[in-house]
């Protein structure tokens, strides 16, 4: 039995301890905002927060988050209001809209989670710090818009 909080809600699930957190989120809890990309923690599509830190959930066994606080893209917004309502968006989510960051959008929930973690730890990162921290793969190449959105948030 695995017990942990996801987006502020306590969950106890009867799953194998080595089951990746990604599959617990998607298959057991129906939270499909976190995406499967590579399965080897390289691309970042599966990024979630564990105790505020960005982690790749595709290789993280659910046993590693026992008693921890997990935040997914579904829980990132400040309230449970629908994503399209501007008052419910975080600064990063709003910047993604304002700067039209996504192209296909598949990697973007992981990218938003990674950027949110970076900006919480470092509200005004340098380009080198952004490069070191945000190593999520975007096959569409939206990196210039990602950087522009990060810069806009940092200067606000």
User: Do residues 107 and 136 touch, judged by C-beta distance below 8 A?
Assistant: yes
Task: Give the integer Cα–Cα distance in Å for 131 and 127.
Answer: 6
Superfamily of domain 86-155: [2Fe-2S]-binding domain (1.10.150.120)
Q: Enumerate the CATH 1.10.150.120 domain ranges in the chain, comma separated.
A: 86-155
Contact between residue 46 and residue 22 where contact means Cβ atoms under 8 Å apart: yes
Q: What is the DSSP string of 74-132?
A: HHHSSSSS-TT-GGG--HHHHHHHHTT--SS-TTHHHHHHHHHHHHHH-SS--HHHHHH
What architecture is domain 2-76? Roll (3.10)
pLDDT digits (tens, 9 = 90+) for 36-79: 999 999 999 999 999 999 999 999 999 999 999 999 999 998 54
Q: pTM here? A: 0.92
pLDDT of residue 79: 44
């Amino acid at each position: 039995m695995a017990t942990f909080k996801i987006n502020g809600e306590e969950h106890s699930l009867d799953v194998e301890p080595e089951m990746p957190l990604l599959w617990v989120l998607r298959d057991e809890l129906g939270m499909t905002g976190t995406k499967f990309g590579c399965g080897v923690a390289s691309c970042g599509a599966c990024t979630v927060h564990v105790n505020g830190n960005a982690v790749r959930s595709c290789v993280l066994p659910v046993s590693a988050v026992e008693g921890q606080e997990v935040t997914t893209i579904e829980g990132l917004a400040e309230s449970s209001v629908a994503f399209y309502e501007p008052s419910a968006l975080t600064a990063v989510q709003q910047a993604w809209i304002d700067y039209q960051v996504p192209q296909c959008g598949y990697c973007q929930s992981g990218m938003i989670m990674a950027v949110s973690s970076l900006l919480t730890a470092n509200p005004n990162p340098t380009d080198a710090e952004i490069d070191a921290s945000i190593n999520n793969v975007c096959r569409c190449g939206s990196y210039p818009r990602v950087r522009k959105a990060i810069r806009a948030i940092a200067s606000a």
